[in-house]
Amino acid sequence: QVQLVESGGGLVQAGGSLRLSCAASERTFSRYAMGWFRQAPGKEREFVAAIIWTLGSTLYANSVKGRFTISRDNAKNTLYLQMNTLKPEDTAVYYCAARSVGLSVTAGGWNYWGKGTLVTVSS
């Protein structure tokens, strides 16, 4: 089974930027879509962004559209999330996810998950 490892989280001031990365543990990795979810303390896990791997088609949550950009490097089997104009409400543990078929904005159906990386945005 594929292991996903996130990196790039940390502390940043409001208005700042941060880039998250998600690397697959295997040299080769087949997937239909990859995405990012986040979970803030006391809240449910929510969808952030997703990308259809082969086409590059993207989908964003309304809360991050215009500020975040999801992208991938096929050669590196790496997923990225560029986060700009960060707000305190973006503070959460960010999870990388992948799925073999289809695309959804709910956690169910995403069959691979990373352990998460913490993003803290201070005011």
Residue 88: C-alpha distances to residues 30, 78, 100 (Å): 35, 27, 33
Burial class (CB in 10 A: 0-12, 13-18, 19+), 1: exposed
Task: Look at residues 87, 120, 90, 102 and name the one whose alpha carbon lies nearest to residue 35.
Answer: 102
Percent of the chain with pLDDT over 90: 89
- Predicted confidence at residue 19, as pLDDT, reads 98
- Predicted confidence at residue 48, as pLDDT, reads 98
